[in-house]
A and B are shown apart, each in its own frame.
Chain A
Amino acid sequence: MHPIQMQRTTQKQRAGLQRLLQVALLSALFSCLVLSVSIRAASAGDLAIIVNSSVDVDNLSLAEVRQIFLGDKQFWTDDLRVTLLVRAPVAHERDVVLKSIYRMTEAQFRQYWISKVFRAETPTGPKIVYSSDMAADLVEQIPGSITFIDVTQVPEGAKVLRIDGKLPGEKGYPLH
């Protein structure tokens, strides 16, 4: 074979090899991304219900969660009062809870609690917290407290409740 032909053949082989490597690299990258997307999509947006360690409950039905957050159930036990910690407006978590638990608009939520206190059905409305950190911190400190935070923000040691027997990220988990 002529040296020039050999050189061209070698260049073609190198170019082919480079294309093959590019395709392999991109495929691997794409596969990793798709995998991470599928993993993340399954749990992203799930809200974890966390409670103070004094609460001797591991599982609640969604109906019970509603009773608690609506202020209808104000005691875990005779000696342990429920303290609600709710995120301030604009937080995504609050939007999810208003939609899936309270089933109210922001205005209805405000009026609901003003009215409930006015009717002397409860001495106070929910405590307002301004970040997931703050919610997690306070729920750890206040006996009987309960709050909701994005599952990706669940701190170490927090007591996460099962809702209808399911944890956040599991199929059929109702709060997301």
Chain B
Amino acid sequence: MKYPRILFWCVGILMSFAMSTRTTAKDFVHSFGQNAHSLTMRATLTTDSVVGHVDSLTVDPDTTKHVLLAGDSSIKKAPRHITTYAELPNYPILKISGFSDIDFSASDAKGSKSGFSEGQFDLQFASELSHKVDFLGELSLTARADAGEVAQLGMAAMPGFNAEVERAIVRYNLADYFKLSAGRYHTQLNYWNTAFHHGMWLQTTIGRPEMIKFGGEFLPVHFVGGLAEGTLGLGPIYAGYYAGLGNSRGNLISRAGDAGSNSNERALLGSVYIRPYAFRDFELGGAGFLDGVILHDGRRYDERIIAGHAVWTKEDPEVITEYANVRHKTINGDSTFNSNAYYVQLAYRLPWFSSQLKPYYRYEVMQIDRLDNVFANVPDYVGYIIGIRYDFSELAAIKAEYRNQHYAGVAVNVAYAQISYTF
């Protein structure tokens, strides 16, 4: 009878020990699982599938762990087991990812038809070529009703996909504060253009702001040339800059000078932003762009773009606001034309339903100087969108959106739905 009593006391003390160390069943299961996983890893690990840096691995299974004792500032470490890695690292280290979406739309615009449409299929290639050099490429396939070079073949326009090299950037990283690159970029002039672009899943809404829409002429979406960039830690503030020299906008000003410049003049780009560490989700930035625009008929204009943005991306709430002014000036300086655009987008990730729902609203305005020949085909625009995003997976979302748009004063109502994802 004595021993059961002692046993009872011992069990009681052990239970109080477990409670006092806050060891929960979950911790125990986690600890057990970790050890089991560790053993499995040692038996079967081939790190090609785990870490791109590593080609082969052998591990001595005899490893002993020791517990670090508190109050002892000199950490007592476990004996090291033998590990051998071959060919570390093995360049290039290529990672492929992508974005795509499926859309449905219905509009009251005259002649429009409702229905499904395939969104862009966007592939991104990020590769480390050495510890100092990296490459980023982006290829998009866009469904179009008039795809292909049909005119050259004497064929009528037909539906299909247009392929485009959206970005191809090779960069030499001297240090955090100075990196040099060359290639085709998303112009570092507009927050939306660089943060989301073809990544429909990345952006909260379905549609892009009118000022930076695909195929739009108001702001240059792409930039071909060279770029210097860097980041600096300035005490409590993280700051970054871009300085670029590249081709002018093409004769068709929605296009960058991909196949060569249309003049001997170069476009200049400068951009800065700051993110305070105390408010990591806040970014404030500004940019400038100087260019010479040559239209199809040979008329030349000096172009100056000033843009700024302030964003808060925490999602509770999310605030994105941008402004841009585009000034065109005739070469002889006789006439100056100013056009402005801005938008404000608000969203809030609701705390209910596992935080999967995010309603949003955006109001935007684009005021074009109607005497500006460069923007002869760009309409004035006022509109708003209201919608909701449902993240049914960590990497996929459904969005539903209503748009009230006024192009040159003509109202159009559109309903959109989209499934967007990354892979």
Binding site for B on A (CB under 8 A): 18, 22, 25-26, 29-30, 33-34, 37-44, 48, 63, 66-67, 70, 72-75, 78, 81, 83, 85, 90-92, 103, 105-108, 110-111, 114-115, 117-120, 123-124, 127-134, 137-138, 140-142, 144, 151-158, 160, 167-170
Closest to B236 in A: A63
Q: Contacts A78-B174, A130-B37 given: A141-B45 contact, CB under 8 Å? A: no
In contact, A151 and B42 (Cβ under 8 angstroms)? no
In contact, A151 and B13 (Cβ under 8 angstroms)? no
What per-residue 1/0 map shows which CB atoms of B67-108 lie under 8 Å from chain A?
A: 111111101011111010100110001010100000000000
- Determine whether B126 belongs to the interface, using a CB cutoff of 8 Å to chain A: yes
Q: Contacts A131-B38, A168-B68, A170-B73 given: A41-B21 contact, CB under 8 Å? A: yes
Q: Contacts A66-B277, A67-B238, A141-B83 given: A129-B51 contact, CB under 8 Å? A: yes
Q: Contacts A26-B9, A41-B21, A44-B21 given: A120-B169 contact, CB under 8 Å? A: yes
Q: How far is the CB of B33 from chain A (nearest CB, A)?
A: 8
- Determine whether B2 belongs to the interface, using a CB cutoff of 8 Å to chain A: yes
* A118 to B42 alpha-carbon distance, docked (Å): 34
B171 to chain A: which residues have CB within 8 Å? 120
Q: Contacts A131-B37, A133-B38, A156-B80 given: A169-B75 contact, CB under 8 Å? A: yes
Cross-chain contact of B51 among A39, A138, A160 (Cβ < 8 A): A138
In contact, B277 and A63 (Cβ under 8 angstroms)? yes
- Determine whether B145 belongs to the interface, using a CB cutoff of 8 Å to chain A: no
In contact, A169 and B126 (Cβ under 8 angstroms)? no
Closest to A48 in B: B75
In contact, B175 and A138 (Cβ under 8 angstroms)? no
* A26 to B14 alpha-carbon distance, docked (Å): 11
Binding site for A on B (CB under 8 A): 2, 5-6, 9-10, 13-14, 17, 20-22, 27, 30, 34, 37-38, 41-42, 45, 47, 50-54, 57, 59, 63, 65-73, 75, 77-81, 83, 85, 88-89, 93, 95, 97, 124, 126-128, 131-132, 134-136, 167, 169, 171, 173-176, 185, 194-195, 197, 199, 202, 231, 233, 236, 238, 277, 280, 315, 355, 391, 394-395, 422
* A167 to B77 alpha-carbon distance, docked (Å): 13
Instruction: Beyond A154-B77, A169-B70, list 12 extra A-B contacts (CB 8 Å).
Output: A37-B17, A40-B67, A41-B20, A43-B69, A75-B176, A107-B394, A124-B52, A130-B50, A141-B54, A141-B85, A156-B77, A157-B77
A74 to chain B: which residues have CB within 8 Å? 173, 176
* A142 to B63 alpha-carbon distance, docked (Å): 21
Q: Contacts A48-B75, A123-B126, A169-B70 given: A114-B422 contact, CB under 8 Å? A: yes
A18 to chain B: which residues have CB within 8 Å? 2
In contact, B233 and A142 (Cβ under 8 angstroms)? no
* A156 to B83 alpha-carbon distance, docked (Å): 13
A41 to chain B: which residues have CB within 8 Å? 20-22, 70
B66 to chain A: which residues have CB within 8 Å? 152
* A103 to B279 alpha-carbon distance, docked (Å): 11
B132 to chain A: which residues have CB within 8 Å? 81
B63 to chain A: which residues have CB within 8 Å? 133
In contact, B21 and A114 (Cβ under 8 angstroms)? no
* A118 to B203 alpha-carbon distance, docked (Å): 12
* A140 to B81 alpha-carbon distance, docked (Å): 11
B75 to chain A: which residues have CB within 8 Å? 48, 151, 154, 160, 167-169
* A22 to B161 alpha-carbon distance, docked (Å): 85
In contact, B50 and A78 (Cβ under 8 angstroms)? no
In contact, A67 and B10 (Cβ under 8 angstroms)? no
In contact, A115 and B88 (Cβ under 8 angstroms)? no
* A30 to B131 alpha-carbon distance, docked (Å): 56
In contact, A37 and B202 (Cβ under 8 angstroms)? no
B52 to chain A: which residues have CB within 8 Å? 124, 127
Closest to A130 in B: B41
Q: How far is the CB of B52 from chain A (nearest CB, A)?
A: 7
Q: How far is the CB of A13 from chain B (nearest CB, A)?
A: 16
Q: Contacts A39-B71, A72-B233 given: A22-B6 contact, CB under 8 Å? A: yes
Closest to B169 in A: A120
Closest to A123 in B: B134
In contact, B21 and A106 (Cβ under 8 angstroms)? no
* A108 to B86 alpha-carbon distance, docked (Å): 34
Cross-chain contact of B79 among A33, A153, A156, A168 (Cβ < 8 A): A156
B17 to chain A: which residues have CB within 8 Å? 33, 37
